Chains A and B, each alone.
Chain A
Amino acid sequence: MEKIELINISKSFVQNGNNCKNEPLILNDISLKINSGSFVSILGPSGCGKSTLLNIIAGFISPSKGEIKFNGFPVTAPNPNRVVIFQDYGLFDWKTVQGNIEFGLIAKNIPKTERKEITQYYIDLVHLKGSENKYPHELSGGMKQRAAIARALAIEPECLLMDEPFGALDSQTRNILQDEILDIWKKTKNTIVSITHNVDEAVYLSDRIIVLSNSPAKILIDTNVNLPRPRFPEIRLQKDFIEIYNYLWQSLRNEVMSNK
């Protein structure tokens, strides 16, 4: 079943303003169907418009042309059934970990005692036990992203939209969080769309990978990753992994180089 459907999406830089004819195109006629419960990564060179695409799916901005549907209904605004995980976490600095996670639950009018239970469950799930009452500035980057993931999951969204979620983390923390997000996804079964420029991460996590071209971005490659699950770090040494990695890296490399 399709969760997200993009139909001929184009986006130019100036949003419904100044009737300038030569607005630079960022996204060029992108059509895509994303199945419910799948883990899809969108790969592309830096500055190609990957994040713009995610912002359109989230409902933060609207496309200049084309249509976007979620569960068959047009997307017009952000909605808690699609929660975004930001590269810079987007945690509320003025709230503790607990307060951050409760934010979305308060929006859903969930009573206080139930809220505490749910919050505790997700704090445990992301291994943040003991940090409930800490403010974001007291947490490491990895812990911040864990808190942001817990905050997103707590409202049980159908879809997680991740914008370079591990981009600001060191490579060790990054690897650990990759495994954790796979573990969590196995339990929650959300649809996940992840934006990344990291080929290894895309192959390791995804069912399917979309490669975008340089700006104006169009779809270059749309391929399934037929590696077995559950995945574990050693899979990176297997022939199938390396093959698909090389295939994607070659085409991405060409894009990056041709931009120079």
Chain B
Amino acid sequence: MKLKFNYRKLLSIVAIIAIWELLCDIGYVNIRILPSPYVVLITLYHLIISGSILFDMLTSLWRVIVGFLIAVFLGIVTGYFTATNKKASDFLTPLIEILRPIPPVAFIPLSILWFGIGNAPAYFLVAFGSFFPIFTNTFYGIKSVNKIHIDAALCLGASRKQLVFDVIIPAAMPFITVGLKTGIGVAWFCVIAAELVGAQSGLGYMIQLNRLTLQSENVIAGMVMIGLIGFLMSRMMVFIQKKLVPWSNKTS
């Protein structure tokens, strides 16, 4: 099978970059605040070659991974218990519901007070932000497990462990992976927001610092990197989803 690429999909992006370049070239905009795409590209190249942006990238990625894994664990565990146990649900659901409407960025001031500057506030914000989509989707996934599967497992003599890990969790997996996909997007958003004020490294810190020194080409190069990694992470989640839910890859 030959992979055919639809070039029309590139049209809007090429157009906006061309207009941007044109505006800079004819001197219509102040290139101190909006450098041309060409300058941004060169800057990005140098930042990659020197390795400095890669260091910031790895720092941000590490924070996302740690915070996200905490959220995966807590989200799935609390989702499971609130969905299966009335007492746990009565106990936890009100707490979760009053915390949910608070945007994670609103926790930035407190998290700096609590955890200082560095990795810890980022871990906290990432975990807090990505917890909700993972929790909610796990909850609904487990609530929607078909009773016939539970009955089938029980009459086949399933142990408690088999029932949870071989029936209930996999049955809920299509929902859980949706939560993971939404969660990783929120996590990336949160880590950048946390680094803007609560860190001294990472891509968020890097663009903030370069704003202060008026190096807007570095700011935009950093933003390009942030967008690129966000895009790659969501592609990776699609890949992971296919691995975790192989039975829903309907061929044909």
Contact = CB atoms under 8 A, between A and B. Distances in A.
A86 B147 CA distance: 12
Contacts of B170: 92, 94-95
Contact of B247 (A77, A86, A93, A152): A93
Contact of A86 (B152, B153, B173, B245): B152
B162 A78 contact: no
Contact of B152 (A82, A84, A106): A84
Given A94-B170, A103-B166, A137 B156 contact: no
A155 interface: yes
Interface string B219-252: 0000000000000000000000000011110110
Contacts, number: 75
A149 to B, nearest CB: 13
Interface in A76-92: 77-80, 82-84, 86, 88, 90-92
A44 interface: no
Contacts of B148: 86, 88, 90
Nearest to B153: A103
Contacts of B251: 138
A108 B171 contact: no
Interface residues of B, number: 23
Interface in A180-232: none
Given A94-B173, A103-B162, A107-B162, A60 B154 contact: yes
A58 interface: yes
Prevailing SS type, chain A contact patch? loop
Contact of B157 (A58, A80, A88, A94): A80
A70 interface: no
B158 interface: yes
B155 A80 contact: yes
| Interface residues of chain B: helix, strand, loop or mixed (majority) | helix
Contacts of A58: 151, 155
A3 to B, nearest CB: 16
B197 interface: no
Interface in A90-139: 90-95, 103-104, 106-108, 135-138
Nearest to B249: A135
A104 B247 contact: no
Interface in B155-186: 155-159, 162, 166-167, 170-171, 173
Contacts of B158: 103-104, 107
A151 B156 contact: yes
Contacts of A106: 162, 166
Interface string A142-160: 0000000001100100000
Nearest to B173: A94
A54 to B, nearest CB: 11
Contacts of B157: 79-80, 104, 107-108, 155
Interface string A41-60: 00000000000000000111
Contacts of A83: 155-156
Given A77-B154, A135-B247, A137-B250, 9 more contacts: A58-B151, A79-B155, A94-B245, A103-B166, A104-B156, A107-B156, A107-B159, A137-B247, A138-B251
9 contacts: A59-B155, A83-B155, A90-B148, A93-B248, A94-B170, A103-B158, A107-B159, A107-B162, A108-B157
Interface of B: 148-149, 151-159, 162, 166-167, 170-171, 173, 245-248, 250-251
A-B pairs, 8 with minimum CB distance: A80-B157, A104-B156, A90-B152, A78-B154, A94-B170, A107-B157, A78-B155, A135-B247
